[in-house]
Amino acid sequence: MSEIDLAPLVPALENFIPLGRAGLLPALHAAQKIYGWLPQEAAAEVAKNLKVPLADVHGVIEFYSLFYNEPVGRKIIRVCTDQACALKGADGILRHLCSHHGLEAGQTTPDLSLTIEASPCLGLCEQAPAALVDDKTETNIDLETGAYNLGRPQSIVAGSLRLLTANCGEGTTSLGKYGKYTAFLKALEMTPDSVVAEIKASGLVGRGGAAFPTGVKWEGAAKADGDQKYVVCNADESEPGTFKDRVLLLDDPNRLIEGMLIAGYAIGSDKGFIYLRGEYPYILPVLEEALAEARMRACSAKIFSTLASRLISKSASARARTSAGKRPRYSSPSRASEDFHGSSRRSQPPMACSINRLSSITWKRFSMFLLLLRRARRSIARSAPRSPLARNYSASLATWHSLESTKCRLESPCANF
């Protein structure tokens, strides 16, 4: 094995050192970008600089499927073989690629030029079959004609009711086009308790299955003890057939940022994390640009982006541990505060919300949306008062997307918004 040159890694880690363990995931991504994989020497250097036990670093590397602890190809093709793509012939595409290059799925060519892998859902279901070629998407693959679309995936948005998707379908909406953060400015005219009360009155709930009331979650986070609180944005949609987050994140990132600002104001948080799945690497620069634009406009947001690569449960504890640079474990949501940065619930409680809920809160004017949501909830409840599905739908009306919490510091009155 050739000796690993650590010289390019040292400066690449400088920005993550102040974060400690919370900087582990982005630090490992930075290291893998340099070497193409994560050799032991690089893992040890990351552990030393971030002051994280080396065993913990290796545990994270071995858990996440997009981290590699052995050499892989300079180009990596990941063919989605989950349900939507499988129905469109993904297995045949994978076999064809492997046969053409003399490989089996999961193997690398001897000259390290190419690795081919079968992948779980890439969130490109409406454009199946799909693959991820390094950080670029390849969609609508036609094996017979050899045709495909390479690059940023198209956002296919239709329908007569366009509330959350009003800015979607025509590329990324800039802050200039998005306009002032009207909902956030409206929230600033209220007390944090009043914002929480509005959310509770709206009946807004989660869409992950448990339908947990958003207002109750915010109220609990607001009342929790602790000098430092966190908002965690769940930008990891992991179920096959779901791609709604991708559309909102790519086309309307400012809606996410505004929702995170409102959440941070309501619960008293000045820090947050965006938990972005590793299968969406092309979304990261879009988010970073939107955040930079927002900071330049009002110097109001202080938000970190974290790439995570393995699909895990929607447990609040799992999200908290991953955002803190730990390997997730499956446990009760009540443990989320203990799992974040290894802290107790009293010292650093985090709050996680979905893109659905945060996007819904911002549409279009804060009070108007909540009023319409309350009316819809009452109307559907009258028509089907005993139906849990009807109650869940009415309480989640227009929460078609999934945004979850953030890091916000209100360092200015945000007059420019």
Q: Going from the first residue of the chain to its last (417 residues), give the mean pLDDT of each consecutive group of 10, the final group possibly shorter.
A: 84 92 91 95 96 95 92 96 94 96 95 95 94 95 93 89 87 91 90 94 80 90 88 80 88 92 90 85 92 75 37 39 55 45 48 62 51 53 43 29 29 34
Task: Sheet containing 271-277: give its strands across.
Answer: 303-308, 271-277, 230-235, 350-354
Residue 155 within any structural domain of the chain? no
What is the rounded CA–CA span in Å between residue 178 and residue 376? 26
Tokens encoding 12: 């690449």
User: Do 351 and 207 share a structural domain?
Assistant: yes
Residue 321 within any structural domain of the chain? yes
Q: Give the number of C-alpha atoms closer than 13 A to the C-alpha of residue 113, restricted to the C-beta side.
A: 5
What is the rounded CA–CA span in Å between residue 91 and residue 361? 41
For tokens 């199946």, what's the residue?
A: 128
Residue 166 within any structural domain of the chain? no
User: Do 193 and 54 share a structural domain?
Assistant: no
| pLDDT of the residue at 321 | 52
Tokens encoding 360: 């819904």
User: Do 232 and 97 share a structural domain?
Assistant: no
What is the rounded CA–CA span in Å between residue 97 and residue 109? 12
Does the CA dihedral 287-238-221-271 come out positive or negative?
A: negative
Calculated CA dihedral for residues 3, 17, 71, 246, nearest 10 degrees: -160
User: Do 181 and 142 share a structural domain?
Assistant: no
Please tell me whether residue 10 adopts helix, strand or coil conformation.
Answer: helix
User: Do 318 and 254 share a structural domain?
Assistant: yes
User: Do 310 and 382 share a structural domain?
Assistant: yes
Close Cβ partners of 128 (under 8 Å, ≥ 6 residues apart): 80, 84, 85, 87, 88, 90, 139, 140
Residue 408 within any structural domain of the chain? no
User: Do 239 and 133 share a structural domain?
Assistant: no
CATH number at residue 228: 3.40.50.11540
User: Do 390 and 297 share a structural domain?
Assistant: yes
H helix runs in 191-236, sequence order = 192-202, 214-223
| pLDDT of the residue at 217 | 92
Tokens encoding 82: 């989950």
**Is there a contact between 388 and 270 (Cβ–Cβ < 8 Å)?**
no
User: Do 293 and 367 share a structural domain?
Assistant: yes
Residue 202 within any structural domain of the chain? yes
Number of domains comprising the chain: 3
User: Do 322 and 179 share a structural domain?
Assistant: yes
Residue 410 within any structural domain of the chain? no
User: Do 249 and 364 share a structural domain?
Assistant: yes
User: DSSP letter at 20?
Assistant: G
CATH number at residue 130: 3.40.30.10
Residue 30 within any structural domain of the chain? yes
| pLDDT of the residue at 342 | 47
| pLDDT of the residue at 368 | 47
Which residues span the domain enclosing 126? 75-150
Q: Hey, which bits of 215-349 come out as E strands?
A: 230-235, 271-277, 303-308
User: Chain centroid to CA 204: how far?
Assistant: 20
Q: Comparing C-alpha atoms, which of 277, 371, 369 is closest to residue 318? A: 277
